[in-house]
Structure 1
Amino acid sequence: MTQNTPLSPCHLRIAGDVRQRVLSEAQLRAHGVSVAVAAAQCRTGGPWQQPLPGVYVLHPEPPAGDELLRAALLYAGRPPASAGRRRESGAESGYGEAMVTGLAALALHGFAAAPPPASAARIDVLVPRTRRLPSVRYVRLVRAAEPPRPQEVRGLPVAPVERALADAVSGLGDATAVRRLLTEAVRGGHCEPAIVVRELNRAKLLDRPHVVDAVDALLAEGRALAENRLYDMVRSYGLPEPLWNVDLRLPGGPHLGGVDAYWPEEAVAVALDTRAPLHSLLGDDRRQEEHDAQWSAYTAEREYLERLGVTVVQLSPKELRDAKEQQAVVVRTALMAAADREPAAYVMILPR
């Protein structure tokens, strides 16, 4: 083919499905289109474009958001050159083990604080650590020794919210932006604070002061949200009104601990488990020691109350969110069983 020879007509048609508008070299070959013909279609003024190495958009207009995401996944998911053509027809999607993460993933999960992919300067794609492909143009590859199981959103593999949050936060130095994302994760019901903090800890991001400040706000937000769920459970399912947020103490004796709800006549207490991994600027060993000490003290308080005849029902924010009616049955059963138990020791009830 000389430079003046017209291109052979390409019979691929642009469809409404983004999977037919954005294709890899391997997928084009499967349609009978050679690399040379594809490159010719991408000449200046041509009908196609090549936004990333080995990836083609089959129209000349600027790629839309989902097209940018698919192109990034096709680039990151293509098989290594050493695999040969035998593997090119393996995964039908062409994404391999790649998945969208970071801000682009949060946008797909519905975060208002994350910019849409079409306006983002960068799209993060999570790949196994063994991939040697470089980051290029608008695609930043994030490597993981053990990638999480992706979730499918709009037909694309997307990292779970907690992993996408950690990858997004790792690239943000703006304290306000970090706090906004973490708060939306909890307030929007995407995941519980403890899960977010655990993922940030795993990513070694809790040595950054602006992240620690955002985590403090996150835990406060999560605590308030869990308390509201508890109030709603008691009132929605007709449980007797308890005393809210009280401290229990033996007369003239030691402090027994604080509980979130207490029914004195039945000696039943509800305690919300809103613990999260300890976040501080201490080393990992010191952080674990302090966390273990806090857990030991927490367990000792609950066991002491049980020995005094106080039934302690421990509820997690996730249980109150996902199985509120079931948790109401648990509390109601504990209240009804009070008549069959030995009377509890007398305890003083103080506001917390």
Structure 2
Amino acid sequence: MNHNTPDAPLSPLPHTGVDRLREALRHARSGAMLTGLAALSLHGFASAPSPGMIDRVDVLVPRTRRLRSTALVRVVRATEWPQPAEIGGLPVAPVPRALADAVSALSDASVVRRLLTEAVSGGHCEPGVVVRELNRARLLNRPHVVDAVDSLLAEGRAIAEERLYEMVRAFGLPDPLWNVDLRLPGGPHLGGQDAYWPDQAVAVELDTRAPRQDDDALWSEYTRKREHLERLGITVVHLTPRKLREAMDQQATVVRTALMAASDRQPAAYVVVLPR
């Protein structure tokens, strides 16, 4: 193709379901994939309209392509090319990229919130991955997107906490104190922990931080808190939602090992445990 000459405008598409999506890809020529609401619909999102109900199909193409959008097809250009999934014989953008492309064209806060929440509650991806993609697309300066992200993170934390409870039950770990704050007697606050075994001085902290522009500062604060606890003799086990979802048995082994090793360590400093 001569990249100095723009491709012809995309012609109108038929208005029926999946055939419409195939036609969109055909007009976008080779090396394109579906993204946005069309992709989310194919990924099985209940909150995305069916292909036949989508007014404008989003098609992702390489940045150098010179296709033009039409009333029925929106051309989205990608600087970083994602690995497509194949659904029903169609190339489809991965969920985080498809979400970002859909959100970029939406102004309805309730629709954005439903899509982001379903990405996590439906098990499609972790909150941090979604927020990273929204940040890459420079969407976190839109108030309705920020509000939806807050709901997304709350949903993600609730799911991660439930998986942590399930891990303790399913693998026969001793019951911890749940959701507590630790303090030195008459001293400073040492930070909140999702689970704490006081007899063994073992704490579990879920890392549900979202990657944003201030992530380095958040990570530094987390590291300082963890190092302070460990100087006091408290073992901190760091778990992520992804680890709990994909390898719960391995994480249970890590926690069990930390509990069993308590008898070989020097006694920890006395701390006050308060409900969080």
Structure 1 residue 293: Cα displacement = 2.4
Once the 2 structures are TM-superposed, how far is the Cα of residue 277 of structure 1 from its aligned partner? 2.2
Structure 1 unmatched ranges of 5 or more: 1-51, 56-61, 78-95, 279-287
Task: Tell me if the contact between 1:54 and 1:75 (Cα under 8 Å) persists in the aligned partners.
Answer: no
Q: Give the CA deviation at 1:63.
A: 6.0
Instruction: Report the equivalent of 2:4.
Output: none
The one-letter amino acid of 1:317's match is: P
For 2:112 and 2:70, how far apart are their aligned partners in 1? 25
CA distance in 1, matches of 2:186, 2:116: 43
| Equivalent runs, 1:25-174 vs 2, <5 Å | 53=11, 64-77=16-29, 96-174=30-108
Name the counterpart of 1:313: 237
RMSD over aligned Cα atoms: 1.5
| Superposed displacement of residue 53, structure 1 | 4.1
Q: Deviations over 1:155-205 (max 9, x none)?
A: 111101000000000000000000000010111011111111111111011
* TM-score (normalised: structure 1): 0.73
Q: Pick from 153, 164, 170 the counterpart of residue 230 of structure 1.
A: 164
Q: Is the 8 A contact 2:12 2:72 kept in 1?
A: no
Residue identity over aligned pairs, in percent, reads 72
Which of these two proteins has the greater Rg computed from alpha carbons? Answer: 1
Aligned partners of 1:331, 1:105: CA distance in 2, in Å?
A: 39
Aligned mates of 2:96, 2:79 — CA distance in 1: 16
Other structure's SS at 1:157 match? strand
CA distance in 2, matches of 1:136, 1:172: 17
Unaligned segments of structure 2, at least 5 residues = 1-9
TM-score (norm 2): 0.93
* Total equivalences in the alignment: 267
Aligned twin of 1:297: 221
Task: Tell me the distance in 1 between the aligned counterparts of 2:11 and 2:215.
Answer: 48
Residue 163 of structure 1 aligns with an amino acid whose one-letter code is: R
CA distance in 2, matches of 1:326, 1:291: 27
Shift of 1:338: 0.9
Report the CA distance between 1:292 and its aligned residue.
2.5
User: Judging changes above 3 Å, is the alpha-carbon distance between structure 1 residues 167 and 54 closer, same or farther for their aligned structure 2 residues?
Assistant: closer
Superimposed CA distance per residue, residues 63-101 of structure 1 (whole angstroms, 9 cap, x where no aligned partner): 642211111111112xxxxxxxxxxxxxxxxxx220000
Contact 2:12 2:70 in 1 (8 A): no
Read off the aligned partner of 1:340 and give its amino acid letter. D
Q: Which residue of 2 aligns with 1:84?
A: none
Partner of 1:223: helix, strand, or coil?
helix
Deviation, structure 1 residue 118: 1.1
Q: Establish whether residue 330 from structure 1 lines up as the match of residue 264 from structure 2.
A: no
TM-aligned CA deviation for residue 294 of structure 1: 2.3
The range that moved more, 247-256 or 175-184, is 247-256
Q: Distance in 2 between matches of 1:295 and 1:330?
A: 22
Aligned to 2:122, which of 177, 185, 188?
A: 188
| Per-residue deviation, 1:291 | 3.3
Check whether the contact 1:107–1:116 (CA below 8 A) recurs between aligned residues: yes
1:171-320 counterparts in 2 under 5 A?
A: 171-278=105-212, 288=213, 290-320=214-244
